[in-house]
Amino acid sequence: QKEVEQNSGPLSVPEGAIASLNCTYSDRGSQSFFWYRQYSGKSPELIMFIYSNGDKEDGRFTAQLNKASQYVSLLIRDSQPSDSATYLCAVISNFGNEKLTFGTGTRLTIIP
Amino acid sequence: GAGVSQTPSNKVTEKGKYVELRCDPISGHTALYWYRQSLGQGPEFLIYFQGTGAADDSGLPNDRFFAVRPEGSVSTLKIQRTERGDSAVYLCASSLTSSGLADNEQFFGPGTRLTVL
């Protein structure tokens, strides 16, 4: 079992709709959770981080964490064509060791 | 301000050759990370430095891979006797510290695309 799992997609969403991206992780002791966006041929850039159960909102983005279910998600409201990218879920397992463990990423396409 | 820079942006080499990949972190960032990303995969951790010392090198795939950060700033990833399977994008990231804070963002460089023929 992979440590961080994501549906690789591609996921196609109409412009203006809500895109929902999901991630599960295997290490129950994981502490911090990150969503990175990666455009084709570019490096990852941080969208959101979350470390407490519940929702965290930042503009059009909402991260949701459920530690009991070992599940983290990213919602993108009012999807725009510029949101088309690969979204990477990443996890830090232990405070004091900041290495990120990434999923394979979900490719998202927003259809105008 | 300047972000993380990596050189070269592209490197093509022949099987069996030695390569060095360089990373210049953001000024003042004490933590530096190396990842590699194969096509269609997420970045895979290789090694990270806190200052000059390697805090965790558990991701280095074998002893052909080595990394240094002698002055706590620039880092070099060294690959000996390259193999075709080493072909990937090598990403470097830096963060202000490695303090255990959950919001200590890692900023990624543009990567070096390594192709081993």
pLDDT band at A94 (very low <50, low <70, confident <90, very high): confident
Which residues of chain B does A98 touch, with a Cβ-Cβ cutoff of 8 Å? 31, 33, 48, 95, 98, 100, 104, 106
Question: What's the CA gap between B33 and B25, in Å, rounded?
Answer: 9
- Closest listed residue to residue A61, CA positions, set A51, A48, A72: A48
Q: Is there a cis peptide before residue A14, judged by omega within 30 degrees of 0?
A: no
Asked if B56 lies within 8 A of A100 by C-beta distance, the reply is: no
Tell me the sheet residues that pair with B77: B21, B67
Asked if B42 lies within 8 A of A43 by C-beta distance, the reply is: no
Q: Does B3 touch chain A (CB under 8 A)?
A: no
Q: Residue B102: is its pLDDT beyond 90? A: no
Tell me, what's the pLDDT at B88? 98
Asked if A88 lies within 8 A of B40 by C-beta distance, the reply is: no
Put the strands of the sheet holding A19-25 in their side by side order. Answer: A4-6, A19-25, A71-76, A61-66, A54-58
Q: Residue B100: is its pLDDT beyond 60? A: no
Residue with tokens 């994501």: A6
Q: Residue B112: is its pLDDT beyond 60? A: yes
pLDDT band at B1 (very low <50, low <70, confident <90, very high): low
- CA A12, chain centre distance (Å): 16
What confidence tens digit (pLDDT) does each residue in B20-70 have?
A: 999 999 998 999 999 999 999 999 999 999 999 998 999 999 999 999 999
Looking at per-residue pLDDT, the higher value among A93 and A2 belongs to A93
What confidence tens digit (pLDDT) does each residue in B57-89 have?
A: 999 999 999 999 999 999 999 999 999 999 999
